[in-house]
Chains A and B, each alone.
Chain A
Amino acid sequence: MALRTLLASALLALFAPLALLTLPAAAQEPIRIGAFLAVTGPAAFLGDPEQKTLELYVEKLNAAGGLLGRKLQLVSYDSGGDAEKARTFAKRLIEQDKVDVIVGGSTTGETMAVVPLVEAAGMPFISLAGAVVIIEPVKKWVFKTPHTDRMACERIFLDMRARNLERVGLISGAGGFDKSMRAECLKVAPNYKIQIVADEAYGGGDTDMTAQLTKIKNTAGLQAVLNAGFGQGPAIVTKNFRQLAIGVPLYQSHGVASKEFIKLAGEAAEGVRLPAAALLVAETLPDSDPQKKVVVGYSREYTARFKTDVSTFGGHAYDGLMLAAEAMRRAGSTNKEAVRSALESIRGYVGTGGVVNMSAQDHMGLDVSAFRMLEVSKGSWVLVK
């Protein structure tokens, strides 16, 4: 037995160098796209569509002949939304799998845990998470595709200004998303001459917000209410808001930009406005819209393959992969520094999230116009003119 293993390894040792020499000539190494996503766990609603999107479009890129004459290979790990795991997987992607670019990080927590690693390794990294901290201050190797909550606040305040609404009551939940958006809104409100006249909060499992909303309702001179929230809270806020017959416009955040919200809040959702990516209203966009082709294409492709509605999160993954592909095409190689600076120089790329204009100072490249203002009308989304 021992002898046989010895013989086998001797044979291997003899022929292995040969194999190594012949392989690259026969088939070129694939371009490896690394990903770590929260496919399971509490953030699965982010990671699941992202994973599906990456699989679908790596396949499609390969069917179209790959990139730079080489095939693409997706190396993806499930981080379960855990920052610690994300770090481990990112290390593995960099050191063992030797990927060429990383597209991933469903949540801000995972992304920030990985930032020091990619910075040290010099690995181009496109994050799919929301918070402003990812790109502010600018980190050399870190990019991101989703809109930030600050932009959502800005888009909402713009719309309020257009309707001559100045005095706003704010109500927000206790989650990370809620708190971050509340802070951003408070920060940018003065820039739009918006006055936050009430600032109420509710707990994660709270089932009744009439007390908080009554306080807001009785605030003198109230002109609009903004709910920075995520999950069940906004649906209950919307219901309570209608119950109390508060006669001012209600704004929700992009955190509830899905059909689910309309279903949960029912009739109470009528007239609610919120900012969202163009993807949600793909089919109703005017033909002149620069994003129409991209969002309709992605949305049809995704629904046909997976038989579920598109979400903006899957769209972020689409943008991440396409930006990486575009950068490699421009760089003409997978050299990391070349890809990084190509990413930084991308202008006018039309994605599902908006028109991307990267620069050395802006590693997201989106502006407020990437958000569309939607209004709920007859149980569906309508673009606000």
Chain B
Amino acid sequence: MNAQLAQFLLSGLTIGAIYALVALGFAIIYNASHVINFAQGEFVMIGGMATVAFAGAGLPLALAIPAAVLGAVAVGLALEKFAVEPARGASVVTLIIITIGASILLRGLATLVWDKKLHALQPFSGNQPIELAGATILPQSLWVLGVSLAVLLLLGLFFSRTLTGKAMLATSHNPLAAQLCGINVRFVLLLSFGLSAALGAIAGILIAPITLTSWDVGVMLGLKGFAAAILGGLGSGAGAVVGGLALGIVESLGAGYLSSAYKDAIAFVIILAVLFFMPSGLFGKKSAERV
């Protein structure tokens, strides 16, 4: 019975780490602009699909992966530059709708540039399952957990040790004050899209060998990441990570012990419950509208 629990936890942690990366992408853009970027899932898709395409063209994985991440970053920057920035003065709701439009456009482009088929990516280091406390885990899951952890540490260092990182934090707290201190707020916004795109792409690449990838893989992963971000509290880095892992584990346990048919519903029940009972999530700041 314990082996079964261990298996559920390991599966949940793996997929939860991916949700956490996607949720972090939501958090970074939300902090910089208060926009919820619904094209976040598409960055995940671009990461996976571009890696498959580059690897298919003969590039080794070690080159295909950075190339795909760069490609996603370019798309993220372009999205900010050509869609979000021109509408700078518009309300947040308008900007959110722009990102929804962008996500539909990106999905459509993906079906044109690539195709509508499913694709499998080679695992980074073999397919031999590893036994752990009676449960089994794929080497790729270790990659997912390891790389996610490394990314988290790097992000932590970036935000606490570098001037640019601190400038981003300052902007998230108070854009006007930050601007008065000489921080280029527009650059921060651009940077946040680039960073989020990179995070999404990394998540998409890490998970592709386990779950396959296709042009519409971003829809579900994006929504799950969004649920994780809401659970953790929108805009909170720690919240995104905890929310992602918690969502992954709850899903896995729910599918294992309750009914597997409602696995996807769990994420959405969580969104509803959080919004009803604790709108600021686990780690979010209590927000109050000033009249």
Complex interface bits, B186-214 against A, C-beta within 8 A gives 1, otherwise 0: 00000000000000000000010011101
Chain B residues with Cβ below 8 Å from A215 are: 4, 256, 260
Q: How far is the CA of A245 from the CA of B135 in the complex (A)?
A: 10
Looking at the complex, which of B7-15, B32-40, B160-168, B279-287 is the stretch in contact with chain A? B7-15
Q: Does A82 belong to the interface (CB within 8 Å)?
A: no
Q: Does B252 belong to the interface (CB within 8 Å)?
A: yes
Q: Does A207 belong to the interface (CB within 8 Å)?
A: yes
Residue of B nearest to A210 (CB): B11
Q: Does B93 belong to the interface (CB within 8 Å)?
A: no
| Residue pair B129, A205 in contact (C-beta under 8 Å) | no
| Residue pair A211, B256 in contact (C-beta under 8 Å) | yes
Q: Does A222 belong to the interface (CB within 8 Å)?
A: no
Residue of B nearest to A239 (CB): B210
| Residue pair B263, A202 in contact (C-beta under 8 Å) | yes
| Residue pair A203, B263 in contact (C-beta under 8 Å) | yes
Complex interface bits, A184-224 against B, C-beta within 8 A gives 1, otherwise 0: 00000000000000001111011110111011001000000
17 contacts between A and B (CB under 8 A): A201-B260, A207-B207, A207-B221, A208-B11, A208-B15, A208-B211, A208-B252, A210-B7, A210-B8, A210-B11, A211-B253, A211-B260, A235-B212, A239-B210, A243-B138, A244-B7, A264-B119
Q: How far is the CA of A260 from the CA of B117 in the complex (A)?
A: 9
Contact of A214 among B7, B15, B221 (CB under 8 A): B7
Chain A residues with Cβ below 8 Å from B211 are: 207-208, 236
- Separation in Å of the B280 CB from the closest CB of chain A? 29
Q: Does B176 belong to the interface (CB within 8 Å)?
A: no
Q: How far is the CA of A215 from the CA of B214 in the complex (A)?
A: 28
| Residue pair A244, B256 in contact (C-beta under 8 Å) | no
| Residue pair B261, A244 in contact (C-beta under 8 Å) | no
Contact of A232 among B138, B212, B256 (CB under 8 A): B212
Q: List residues of B (204-257) whose CB comes within 8 Å of A's CBs.
A: 207, 210-212, 214, 217, 219-221, 251-253, 255-256
Chain A residues with Cβ below 8 Å from B278 are: none
Q: How far is the CA of A245 from the CA of B120 in the complex (A)?
A: 20
Given known contacts A211-B8, A264-B118, A266-B127, what 8 new A-B pairs fall within 8 Å (CB)?
A207-B210, A208-B210, A214-B8, A214-B256, A218-B4, A236-B212, A244-B136, A264-B212
- Separation in Å of the A81 CB from the closest CB of chain B? 14
Q: Does A283 belong to the interface (CB within 8 Å)?
A: no
Residue of A nearest to B262 (CB): A203
Residue of B nearest to A216 (CB): B260
| Residue pair B210, A214 in contact (C-beta under 8 Å) | no
Q: How far is the CA of A212 from the CA of B8 in the complex (A)?
A: 9
Number of interface residues of A (CB under 8 A): 31
Residue of B nearest to A203 (CB): B264
Chain B residues with Cβ below 8 Å from A206 are: 263-264
- Separation in Å of the B6 CB from the closest CB of chain A? 10
Chain A residues with Cβ below 8 Å from B7 are: 210-211, 214, 244
Q: How far is the CA of A206 from the CA of B15 in the complex (A)?
A: 11
Q: How far is the CA of A225 from the CA of B80 in the complex (A)?
A: 49
Residue of B nearest to A42 (CB): B116
| Residue pair B129, A245 in contact (C-beta under 8 Å) | yes
Q: How far is the CA of A187 from the CA of B260 in the complex (A)?
A: 22
| Residue pair B212, A268 in contact (C-beta under 8 Å) | no
Number of interface residues of B (CB under 8 A): 34
Q: How far is the CA of A201 from the CA of B210 in the complex (A)?
A: 19
Q: Does A336 belong to the interface (CB within 8 Å)?
A: no
| Residue pair B118, A267 in contact (C-beta under 8 Å) | no
Contact of B220 among A201, A205, A239 (CB under 8 A): A205
| Residue pair B120, A211 in contact (C-beta under 8 Å) | no
| Residue pair B129, A242 in contact (C-beta under 8 Å) | yes
Q: Does A60 belong to the interface (CB within 8 Å)?
A: no
| Residue pair B129, A244 in contact (C-beta under 8 Å) | yes
Q: How far is the CA of A174 from the CA of B264 in the complex (A)?
A: 11
| Residue pair A263, B120 in contact (C-beta under 8 Å) | yes
- Separation in Å of the A219 CB from the closest CB of chain B? 11
- Separation in Å of the A178 CB from the closest CB of chain B? 11
| Residue pair B263, A243 in contact (C-beta under 8 Å) | no
Contact of A202 among B4, B217, B219, B260 (CB under 8 A): B260
Q: How far is the CA of A241 from the CA of B212 in the complex (A)?
A: 15
Chain A residues with Cβ below 8 Å from B8 are: 210-211, 214
| Residue pair A214, B4 in contact (C-beta under 8 Å) | yes
- Separation in Å of the A228 CB from the closest CB of chain B? 14
Chain B residues with Cβ below 8 Å from A212 are: 255-256, 260
| Residue pair B214, A232 in contact (C-beta under 8 Å) | yes
- Separation in Å of the B201 CB from the closest CB of chain A? 17
Complex interface bits, A226-249 against B, C-beta within 8 A gives 1, otherwise 0: 000001100110010011110000
Chain A residues with Cβ below 8 Å from B127 are: 242, 266-268
- Separation in Å of the B65 CB from the closest CB of chain A? 19
- Separation in Å of the A231 CB from the closest CB of chain B? 8
Q: How far is the CA of A247 from the CA of B138 in the complex (A)?
A: 17
Chain A residues with Cβ below 8 Å from B217 are: 207
Query: Given A207-B210, A208-B210, A245-B136, does the pair A264, B129 have CB atoms closer than 8 Å?
Result: no
Contact of A205 among B14, B251, B252, B264 (CB under 8 A): B264
Q: How far is the CA of A265 from the CA of B260 in the complex (A)?
A: 22
Complex interface bits, B1-25 against A, C-beta within 8 A gives 1, otherwise 0: 0001001100100110000000000
Chain A residues with Cβ below 8 Å from B210 are: 207-208, 239
- Separation in Å of the B144 CB from the closest CB of chain A? 11
Q: How far is the CA of A218 from the CA of B134 in the complex (A)?
A: 12
Chain A residues with Cβ below 8 Å from B264 are: 203, 205-206
Among A214, A218, A264: residue with most chain B CB under 10 A: A214
Contact of A235 among B4, B118, B260 (CB under 8 A): B118
Q: How far is the CA of A242 from the CA of B136 in the complex (A)?
A: 10
| Residue pair B261, A201 in contact (C-beta under 8 Å) | yes
Query: Given A211-B11, A236-B212, A264-B212, does the pair A243, B136 have CB atoms closer than 8 Å?
Result: yes
Q: List residues of B (34-64) whose CB comes within 8 Å of A's CBs.
A: none
Complex interface bits, A18-31 against B, C-beta within 8 A gives 1, otherwise 0: 00000000000000
Chain B residues with Cβ below 8 Å from A236 are: 211-212
Contact of A207 among B117, B120, B220, B253 (CB under 8 A): B220
